[in-house]
Chain A
Amino acid sequence: MSSYKLLRRVFVWELPVRVYHWINALAITTLCVTGYMIGKPPAIMFGGEAWERHLFGWIRYVHFVAAYIFVFNFIFRIYWGFVGNKYADWKNFIPTNRRYFQQMWEVLKIDIFQTKPGGHMSVGHNELAGFIYFFTFLAFLAQVITGFALYEPMSDSWFAGMFSWVVPLFGADSYVRNIHHILMWFFILFTIIHVYLVFYHDYVEGRGEISSMGGGWKFIEEDAFEAHQKREAEEKAAEEKAATEKNNKAA
């Protein structure tokens, strides 16, 4: 009998996070496909009259519906960053301490440049991924702002109306349109790299990275699990110690 590792099942992605992820994936795919077609409509051979079809109208309609779904889904995720479990917490995306940056550098060395052997022992998002998601959130925001700014003049909805300040800020629709178009490619490039890295982690580490967005489980080696537990206990103790010292000083 050969050696084997004991794996711990850890519940990482809660159901709302998983649902958010897949709605987001579907919405972004829809938005990119319809958005690309809006920017560069396909040439169609058609002998009939214009009133017989409404193809481009439908493409745009789907784009707008997907945009609404995308934005409210995004708002929900921000909310969940404050009430969800520790792997959904907003602190995963915004560096708040030195360790975050150190770990980011670790991930770069281990997974990207591969100058350090082994696998990164993170459970939820690794720090580099988390930080990059922060930039995707900024891109989400920019895309929502520019998109709804372009949509606003043809809409009566209060939501689109909230973006009427954008075009005057830039001076003309054309600027906003160009930004919106260029940013689409950020999403496409992100998706390519994102999907690749999910396969990479699953293949190299064998912790169920791909299926985690289905069931929410990741499988962590017992020694890695214990190391995490130890570190978190230490951090907690250090925090408490600092708090008591502060209290003592105040007293």
Chain B
Amino acid sequence: MSTRPERPTYYEELLHRGYSRRDFMKFCTAIAAYLGLEATGAAQVAQALSEKPRLPVIWLHFQECTCCSESFIRSSHPIVADILLDKLSLDYTETLMAASGHQAEKCMRDTMEKYKGEYVLCIEGSVPTEADGVYCMIGGRTSLDILKEVSATAKAVICWGSCASNGCVQSAKPNPTGAKPIHKLIKGVPIIKVPGCPPIGEVMAGVLVHLITFGTLPELDGVGRPKAFYSKRVHDTCYRRPFYDAGLFVETFDDENAKKGYCLYKVGCKGPTTYNACSVTKWNNGTSYPIQSGHGCFGCSEENYWDAGALYLRNQPFPGFGIESDADKIGTAAAIATGVGIAAHAVMTNIRKSKLIKDVIDEGKDAEKEL
């Protein structure tokens, strides 16, 4: 085995770790497909990974559960974990690096100095802002402090998961720690949001490979998510969509319709308002995704999904009227109240305007008689 150069390319790294060129090409083809590139895209990816030295990556963990990392190392191709998450490729990540204590902090500092403006900052988790940010401290510093420093000289920031992208459960009401997503705290650095709880491993790999291959940010949508993965609703690519269009719905989770695999719309599936690649890429090596296993999507990649309403109801509680009240119930009550009001008004009209009404009626009746 040859000696490794100081900054090996991804391909060199993989050969060193015992992968064949065939494995490598298979990986490139798969990732190019996930990215939605045309057929020649696989070659572009292969070329970039063979020629470009590996991207320096700092991966920070704040208020999170590490499900994003878990999802990532379970993406379908083993190279994904090896190439992108293994300690060889990551300069700093609390979860998986060998170093600890001062050594670890030194690793981060070295990377920041050596690759100033070049390294990619990946973030899992939101950042607490209440009580001067003491709710999340690493190495004696607040996460906000670390975030500000590390992001200042980063090439780009990737927000893994819903925590970093939109605050997830930590920022749900009443949000005691004042948790905030990354984009509300830093400015001046390109930010890519990869929401989901967790995001799909292949999607995460795809975003990184895009950065490596093209050296640019992937095309983003209006809220900053890569269009390649977040431009379609889960609903629009769902295999149960024909049941929806036919008007065939599961009414309760234990009914006959549920057994037949009808659409889960009426039991609160959030597929119609959720942008993600779940129904295309699926999970666990393409095995399944929530709807396929009979459970509605609950929109984990959407902003504020914890506060946005009940997970198993189609119609959401009407703001300010408690969880039992949806817009239709309040609306029906308001319509009944209106009806009662109208009835009262009609009675009152016949009493208070009796003279006017009598005059009009008399005038008309007189005319009828005179004809």
Contacts of A1-29 to chain B: CB distance below 8 A: 1-5
Task: Please tell me if the beta carbons of B309 and A178 are within 8 angstroms of each other in the complex.
Answer: yes
B316 touches A174 (CB 8 A): yes
Stretch in B7-15, B88-96, B197-205, B243-251 touching the partner:
B243-251
Cβ contact within 8 Å between A171 and B303 = yes
**Interface residues in chain A, defined as those with a beta carbon under 8 Å from any beta carbon in chain B:** 1-5, 36, 39-44, 46, 50-57, 59, 112, 114, 117-119, 153-154, 164-165, 167-168, 171-175, 177-178, 181-182, 184-185, 188-189, 192-193, 196, 200, 203-206
CB distance from A181 to the nearest CB of B (A): 5
> Is the beta-carbon distance between A41 and B356 smaller than 8 angstroms?
no
Question: Which residues of B are interface residues toward A (Cβ below 8 A)?
Answer: 166, 221-223, 231-233, 236, 242-249, 251, 265-266, 270, 272-275, 299, 302-305, 308-309, 314-316, 318, 327-328, 330-331, 334-335, 338-339, 342, 345-346, 348-349, 352-353, 355-357, 360, 362-364, 366-367, 370
CB-CB under 8 A from B353, the residues of chain A are 114, 117, 119, 204
When the two chains form their complex, are residues A168 and B222 in contact, meaning their CB atoms are under 8 A apart?
Answer: yes
Question: Please, could you name 5 A-B residue pairs with CB atoms under 8 Å apart, sorted by A?
Answer: A46-B246, A153-B233, A184-B331, A193-B338, A204-B356
Q: Which residues of A contact B273 (CB under 8 A)?
A: 172-174, 177
Min Cβ gap B224→A in Å is 9
Cβ–Cβ < 8 Å partners of A178 in chain B: 309, 316, 327
- Asked whether A118 lies within 8 Å of B356 as measured between CB atoms, the reply is yes
Task: Please determine whether B339 and A192 come into contact, CB atoms closer than 8 angstroms.
Answer: yes
Cβ contacts under 8 Å, A203 to chain B: 349, 357
Bound form: Cα–Cα A181–B315 in Å: 9
Closest chain A CB from B280 CB (angstroms): 15
Of A51, A59, A164, A175, chain B has the most CB atoms within 10 Å of the CB of: A175
Report yes or no: A171 in contact with B223, Cβ–Cβ below 8 A. yes
Contacts A55-B246, A181-B315, A188-B331; A41 near B266 (Cβ below 8 A): yes
Q: Which residues of B contact A5 (CB under 8 A)?
A: 363
Other than the given A178-B309, A178-B316, 8 more pairs (CB < 8 A) read A55-B246, A114-B349, A165-B222, A174-B309, A178-B327, A181-B328, A185-B330, A193-B338
List B contacts of A205 (CB < 8 A).
356, 360
Cα distance, A167 to B248, chains bound together (Å): 28
Query: A55 with B308: in contact, given A172-B302, A181-B327 (CB under 8 Å)?
Result: no
User: For A54, A172, A177, which residue has the most chain B Cβ atoms within 10 angstroms?
Assistant: A172
A39-B315, A43-B251, A205-B360 known; A189-B338 Cβ under 8 A: yes
Contact A57 B303 (CB under 8 A): no
Query: Bound state CA distance, A118 and B356, in angstroms?
Result: 6
Closest chain-A Cβ to B159's Cβ sits at a distance in Å of: 14
Residue of B247, B249, B318, B330 ringed by the most chain A CB atoms within 10 A = B247
**Interface of chain B, main secondary structure:** helix
User: Which residues of the partner chain B approach A173 to less than 8 Å between Cβ atoms?
Assistant: 233, 272-275, 302
Q: Which 6 A-B pairs have the closest CB atoms?
A: A185-B331, A168-B222, A173-B273, A55-B247, A56-B247, A57-B245
Nearest chain A CB to B292 CB, angstrom units: 16
B246 adjacent to A56 (CB under 8 Å):
yes
Contacts of A54 in B (CB 8 A): 245-246
The one of B304, B315, B360, B362 in contact with A171, judged by C-beta atoms closer than 8 angstroms, is B304
> Are the CB atoms of B356 and A114 closer together than 8 Å?
no
Identify A204's interface contact among B265, B275, B357, CB under 8 A: B357
Which residues of the partner chain B approach A51 to less than 8 Å between Cβ atoms?
Answer: 242, 246
A50 near B243 (CB under 8 angstroms)? yes
A204 CA to B361 CA, complexed, in Å: 9
Contacting pair B334 A189 (CB below 8 A): yes
Q: Which of B265, B266, B338 contacts A192 (CB 8 A)?
A: B338
Residue contact B360 to A206, C-beta cutoff 8 Å: yes
> A44 to chain B: which residues have CB within 8 Å?
247-248
Report the minimum CB–CB distance from A165 to chain B (whole Å).
7
List B contacts of A57 (CB < 8 A). 245-246
Q: Kindly list chain B residues whose C-beta atoms are within 8 Å of the C-beta of A189.
A: 331, 334-335, 338
Closest to B222 in A: A168
Which of B274, B305, B314, B334 touches A40 (beta carbons < 8 Å)?
B314
Bound Cα distance A174, B319 (Å) = 13
Q: Which residues of A contact B331 (CB under 8 A)?
A: 182, 184-185, 188-189
Most chain B CB atoms below 10 A, which of A53, A56, A189? A56
Residue of A nearest to B357 (CB): A204
Minimal beta-carbon separation of A236 from chain B (angstroms): 31
Are A40 and B233 closer than 8 Å at their CB atoms? no
Does the CB pair B302–A117 fall under 8 Å?
no
B residues near A39, Cβ cutoff 8 Å: 314-315, 327-328
Residue among B236, B248, B302 facing the most chain A CB atoms (10 A cut-off): B248
Q: Report how far A131 CA is from B130 CA in the complex, Å.
A: 46
B57 to chain A, nearest CB (A): 28
Contact B327 A59 (CB under 8 A): no
Residues of B within 8 A of A164 (CB): 222
User: In the complex, what distance in Å separates the CA atom of A72 from the CA atom of B275?
Assistant: 30
Task: Name the residue in A5, A184, A185 with the highest tally of chain B Cβ atoms < 10 Å from its Cβ.
Answer: A185
Task: Give bound CA distance, A2 to B370, whole Å.
Answer: 9
Closest chain B residue, CB of each to CB of A39? B315
Contact A117:B356 (CB < 8 A) given known A172-B308, A185-B334: yes
Measured CB to CB, the closest approach of chain A to B82, in angstroms, equals: 35
In this complex, which of B299, B303, B362 has the most chain A Cβ atoms within 10 angstroms of its Cβ? B303
Q: Of all chain B residues, which has the CB nearest A119?
A: B356
